[in-house]
Structure 1
Amino acid sequence: MNRLEGKKVVITGAASGIGRAAAQLMAAEGAAVLVADLDPARAEEAAVAIRETGGTALGFGVDVMNEDSLAAMIEKAVAEFGGINVLCNHVGGSNPRKDLDLLRMDLDEWDRVMSLNVRSTVVASRLAIPHMNSGGGGSIVNTASVGGLIGDSLQSAYGSAKAAVIRLTQYIAVQYGANGVRCNAVAPGAIMTPALVDNIPADVIEGMKQANALPYLGEPEDIAHAMVYLASDESRYMTGQTLVVDGGLTSKSPLATGRSSVLS
């Protein structure tokens, strides 16, 4: 416990799923957390839940595609907490009905996805880094995806955007490391978030599980624990890296399942 004692943390997309789990864990580890989300009521509800367990948290409504809104978010954290040590750029995603293969993809969706996933990370980081510089350093944790590491038949924009987040992570790390600012990313595989459970058919979820090396899919807390590590001083010598937390998905050869049955 208290691995984040004294840290001032901002997490976007923190009202549900992985973001909420990260906010809860970071608060439990001693951080003061600004729970930021597009839905201010849900953000405050998540913050109240943290406060009820003895943690320090504030809810804040933010539109990460609006620079003024992001600026207000950072200003709120600095005003309430006295600074900012950790920024978790967690908001992302795409509309799977529009984000298809290259020939069928909606190009307006491409632009929206790049803004939602990449530009928001750029802008929020630009706003937070000066406060980290003046405060002796800090940690930026970007949420990428295994979609940014491997190809797929659909979600061309999402995968490309997350690949950009991974590369941006390295650029931030190199450019601001001398000031004590670290920047790393976490790349989740399939995680049993409410969004996945509510929108993905059971047979597809089973197929995701079969693609893993481990015989189960991850839970939001599995990614949140990785985010806590990257936010904490335990990872003080780690920057510019992408921590893959995917149940072995990207390690598994497509031939592995067949070969294992031969060997058994």
Structure 2
Amino acid sequence: MARVEGKVALVTGGASGIGLSSARLLAKEGAKVVIADFNVEGAQQAAAEINAQGGEAYGLFLDAGDESSIREAVEFTVKHFGTITVLFNNVGLTNLQKDLDVVNMDLMEWDRLMNVNLKSVLLGSRFAIPHMIEAGGGSIINTASMAGFTGDSIRSAYGASKAAVVNLTKYIATQYGASGIRCNAVAPGLILTPAAKNNMPPQVLDIFAKYNKLPYHGEPDDIGYTVLFLASDESKFITGQTIQVEGGHYIANPSIPDFADFMQ
């Protein structure tokens, strides 16, 4: 119950799904948590639930596409709890209608996704790092995606933005490791967040299940526990890494089923 005792965390996109799971687990294990989300009511409700269970949390509004809003979230965290030692850059957008193949994608959508998915990680880190240096160190955790490691027929901007998050993570780790700041990322595969459950038909979930090496789908807590580990001193010698949490979906040579059929 004290894996992150004494730490102060800012979780962006924390009102639901992966962010909410991470905020709850961080608070349960002793961290003081600020939950920042465009859905401010959801963020405040999540904070109220944590406080009712004996934790310390506060919910506030965040527009991850706006530099001043990101700065204000960091500054509020420092003002409210005295410092910031954990930053979970978790906001991310995707759009299956506009983010298409390279020829047909909406270029304004490209700019929007790069701004929210990538620049928000840069800005959150930019504003938090000086406070972490003053505190003697900290842990920055970024949400990447398996889309950053593979190709797809659509979501070109999303995949490119997440690949950039993977590499930006390495740059932050390289530049600020001597100041005691670690920076890592987590790359989820399909995770059964409320959004995934509500928007994906059963047939699509079945397709994902067919290629998972584990016989089940991921849940938000599977990412939340990874974030908790990276926030804690248990991972104090890990930096610049992206942990893939994807149920083995992407690990096998795709031709294996065909070769198995051939051998039979």
- After TM superposition, the score normalised by the length of structure 2 is 0.97
1:46 offset after TM fit, Å? 0.6
Q: Give the Cα–Cα distance (whole angstroms) in 2 for the partners of residues 7 and 180 of structure 1.
A: 14
Secondary structure of 1:139 counterpart: strand
2:98 corresponding residue in structure 1: 98
1:177 corresponding residue in structure 2: 177
Gaps of 5+ in 2: none
Secondary structure of 1:87 counterpart: strand
**Partners of 1:85 and 1:138 within 8 A in 2:** yes
Secondary structure of 1:237 counterpart: coil
Secondary structure of 1:249 counterpart: coil
Aligned Cα root-mean-square deviation (Å):
1.3
Over 4 Å off, 4+ runs: 258-264
Q: Give the Cα–Cα distance (whole angstroms) in 2 for the partners of residues 252 and 231 of structure 1.
A: 30
1:263 offset after TM fit, Å? 8.2
Give aligned pairs, total.
Answer: 264
1:220 corresponding residue in structure 2: 220
Write out aligned runs for 1:92-131 (5 A): 92-131=92-131
Deviations 1:43-86 (A, max 9, x none): 10010111111111000111011111111111110011100000
Q: Which is further off, 34-43 or 246-255?
A: 246-255
2:23 corresponding residue in structure 1: 23
Name the aligned partner's letter for residue 221 of structure 1: D
Summarize the Cα distance change of 1:54–1:151 in structure 2 as closer, same or farther, 3 Å threshold: same
Q: Give the Cα–Cα distance (whole angstroms) in 1 for the partners of residues 16 and 257 of structure 2.
A: 34
- After TM superposition, the score normalised by the length of structure 1 is 0.97
1:66 aligns with 2:66: yes
1:46 corresponding residue in structure 2: 46
**Partners of 1:182 and 1:238 within 8 A in 2:** yes
1:144 corresponding residue in structure 2: 144
Give me the identity figure in percent. Answer: 50
2:233 corresponding residue in structure 1: 233
Write out aligned runs for 1:138-217 (5 A): 138-217=138-217
Secondary structure of 1:250 counterpart: coil
Deviations 1:18-46 (A, max 9, x none): 10000000000000000110011111001
Gaps of 5+ in 1: none
Secondary structure of 1:34 counterpart: strand
Secondary structure of 1:153 counterpart: coil
**Partners of 1:212 and 1:252 within 8 A in 2:** no
Q: Give the Cα–Cα distance (whole angstroms) in 1 for the partners of residues 132 and 261 of structure 2.
A: 52
Q: Give the Cα–Cα distance (whole angstroms) in 1 for the partners of residues 226 and 150 of structure 2.
A: 21
